[in-house]
Amino acid sequence: KSIALVMDSIQENEWELASKNTENLSEVWKKVARRVQFSAEKDEMDDIAKSIARLRGAIQARDQTNALMELQETYEHWKNIGR
């Protein structure tokens, strides 16, 4: 749900909302990371954190293409947690 909110705001070029939603996504990720830290691959968890950081940068630059690419990468890593 958090990823979908970020994606919607990016696609609508609502950059302030995208930034707010990205911060929410980051907070959600921190909670999830605490729960899965012993069962998930450390590299996969690090990759999510890096993707969110790059997503923040793309949103600050108002770069829709890179923001969507980073968001999709975040989603793919998130799906693979615990596999």
The CA distance from 58 to 63, in Å, is 5
SS (H, E, C) 10-67: HHCCCHHHHHHHHHHHHHHHHHHHHHHCCCCCHHHHHHHHHHHHHHHHHHHCCCHHHH
Residues above pLDDT 90, as percent of the chain: 67
Q: What is the mean pLDDT of residues 77-82?
A: 79
Over residues 13-45, the pLDDT tens digits come to 999 999 999 999 999 999 988 887 776 778 888
Model pTM score? 0.85
